[in-house]
Structure formats: C-alpha cells, structure tokens
Amino acid sequence: MLKLPEQPDQCELCRRPVVKLTRHHLIPKHLHRKKRFQKLFSKEELITRTLWVCRPCHNAIHKACSEYELGLHFNTREKLLELEELRVFVEWLRDKPEGFVPKFR
C-alpha cells in the first residue's frame, strides 16, 4: 500500500505555519492516465509526489502555468520555485500572518 506524505505544520512553499493545508499533486491527477506520464514516472511517484501548501500558494501554483507544464516540467518543490512569478509570490507571502488571504486579479 502506498503511503502519502503526512500533513506538516507549515506550508511547504512559503513555510508559514498554517492549520489548514491543501495537497498539491506535483503531477496533476488527470495526467496519471496519459501514456507519456506513465512512461516518465512510476505509479508510486504519480500518486505520492505531492506538496502540502496553503490555499494562497496552491492558487499561485495553478496561476503560474498549465497543469501539463506543471506535471512535465515543474514537478518538484525546487522546480516550482524556478518559476519567477511563483518565487516572488512565495517570498512576498512568507511574512504574512496565517489567516492572510491575498486578493488575486
């Protein structure tokens, strides 16, 4: 049986202590059935490669690029932070209080 990473006490991107985190699948679930992704990643990787992130970080991830690009090119924390738009957002959010929710346009 596959063991998913347990929820930490802080967002794995901005490192803020947040009670309610969401699980971000680094390889989006709807891509798991695509042959290209099945060749690139094991079944275990497809399922367990996740990050626990706060809602503002999760929204920013999906705003930064398409799910296909996320799964193919930005499928680790380090690779996500190579996206300048996301890295700048995470650095800005890092000092905000736990309940802070930014207004997106």
Give pLDDT tens digits for 70-79. 999 999 999 9
Q: Quote the CA–CA distance of 7 and 15 in Å, as a whole number.
A: 13
Element (H or E) spanning 52, and its range? strand 50-53
Q: State the pTM of this model.
A: 0.87
Q: Quote the CA–CA distance of 18 and 69 in Å, as a whole number.
A: 27
Residue 22 has pLDDT above 90, yes or no: yes
Give pLDDT tens digits for 27-79. 999 999 999 999 999 999 988 999 999 999 999 999 999 999 999 999 999 99
Amino acid identity of 90? V
Q: Are 102 and 54 in contact (CB under 8 A)?
A: no
